[in-house]
Amino acid sequence: MTESTLIEAARSSKAWPFQEAQRLAKRLRNGKTANDGSPEPVLFETGYGPSGLPHIGTFQEVLRTTLVRRAYEALSGGAATRLVAFSDDMDGLRKVPDNVPQQEMLAGHLGKPLSRIPNPFNSPHDSFAAHNNAMLREFLDRFGFDYEFVSSSDRYNSGAFDDALRGVLANFDAILDIMLPTLGEERRKTYSPLMPISPTTGAVLQVPIEVIDAQAGTIRFTDEDGNVVEQSALGGKAKCQWKVDWAMRWVALGVDYEMYGKDLTDSGVQSGKIARVLGGNKPEGLIYELFLDAKGEKISKSKGNGLSIDEWLDYGSKDSLGFYIFANPKSAKQLHAGVIPRAIDDYWQFRERLAEQPLEKQLGNAAWHLLRANEHHEGPEAPGAGDSLPVPFSLLLNLVGVLGAEASKDAVWSYLDNYIENADPAAHPELDLLVEKAINYNRVFIAPTLKKRAPVGPEIDALKALDSELARVEPGISAEELQTIVYEIGKREEYGFETLRDWFRALYETLLGSDQGPRMGSFITLYGVEPSRKLIAEALAKA
């Protein structure tokens, strides 16, 4: 396959990253050019509020934006792109987060820009925002994202936003006409598109302002002590209100694409109108649905419901998280530990299929996008396409469940020697990682729930028959042959199973302590024939 083949397929693909890229390409029909006509990289942006630490919402927004970025590069034949991770660290601290130290100290700095509040953490960074910004960069680097970090405070303080701020002041009344009808009566009395920073307290003030000289950037306002103050709005002495700030940033940076959550739908509408007033346009972008917890309730950082990214990575892989997030971003997703095992196995199944799929199917395969996410990859092939996992994660969980809550990696690998060639962790690093995840997952979520019941009635004779068959098998028997043996016993009329499902459920409940489980042929191969016979003996002893 050639690059032109990829471009043609990308331009007609129905996969959501390509649909987003197609809309962006339609807007930028001739690519993006600077004022002098020279080519300019297409700019993708993702935003971050550094009042808290990075979380799973941060990850999904950067990942999804990256997927659209790579899709655009593919359908444009390799156009230059940039991804900016923007930190709104000039925002005033509205309340003290529950999960940070030195609460009393922070409470004394409420209202001040996050970048001008002392660092409450035991770290070398010089402000609250600087610490959280460093955590953001460390977080994004951990996942290998290709991005440029841009700080709001750097832009404001250096004067890089000054021209854009002059535009806000010059269009002050037009911006008010957009915003005031969206506000309640009380809020209208204090609302201003631009918030001055108090020269005495350093707080971001929610007060009306008067524009004295838009070009010079001079404003007048009454401060918190009732004093009339006339000062510049430039050079970090003022900050735009949220919706105005978003629009100003789009115009100042030249943002072409930014997605955001459903909860910011109204903000996006108003910011788009303001961007047009400022002489720019709202970027293309996707409005995605939010995460829900296991009960279907919206995930809240303050409530602590749902699953954190660190918790996912305790029990699953980065690839599986990306895979789970990939599907249909316009639908809400329940985010809890129960979805992890299937996400891991589904990711590897999709990745294995890639090598055999025609290109148009590959472009709809989540693994194709995830494998290309962190590098500008030329050509239609995805690195790692066709790779497979020697043992499904679900089967690993069953093995670890039988070994017990105290199972070790060495013990698991000793059993893997029954199932795969060269059962050496160094030869299978991705499987070795998942062994660790399976042990963690079993200890927390499976082991406490396992309870093996005693076999009853015809189940006893069926288990005895299975034990007799296993006693006669030849060494090296395949998993498929073992599966056939299990099937044939379940189909015998004398044992009275209405369906094979009833037989397998009996095996799971008596041997594994669960109401669901793996293909028994594969499990017996992995666990070993003799250890499996021991499980049967232990079950029969309870009868």
Half-sphere exposure of 262 (CA within 13 A, CB side): 11
CA distance 398 to 523: 8
Is residue 90 within 8 A of residue 51, CB to CB? The reply is no
**Alpha carbons within 13 A on the beta-carbon side of 238:** 34
Measure the N-to-C terminal CA separation of the chain; round to a whole number of Å: 62
* 184 neighbors 192 (Cβ within 8 angstroms): no
As a whole number of angstroms, the distance between CA 151 and CA 147 comes to: 13
Burial of 266 (0-12, 13-18, 19+ CB in 10 A): exposed
| CA proximity to 129, closest of 160, 164, 107, 154 | 154
273 belongs to an annotated ligand binding site = no
Alpha carbon of 457 to those of 288, 384, 503, 536: distances in Å?
53, 50, 12, 15
Q: How far apart are CA 21 and CA 42, in angstroms?
A: 11
Pairwise CA distance, residues 336 & 333, whole Å: 9
Q: What is the DSSP string of 157-199?
A: HHTTTHHHHHHHHHTHHHHHHHHGGGS-HHHHHH--SEEEBPT
The alpha carbon torsion through 176, 179, 182, 183 (nearest 10 deg) reads: -70
Helix and strand numbers (H, E) in the chain are 24, 12
Q: How far apart are CA 300 and CA 143, in angstroms?
A: 23
Point out the annotated binding site. 301
Point out the annotated binding site for ATP. 301
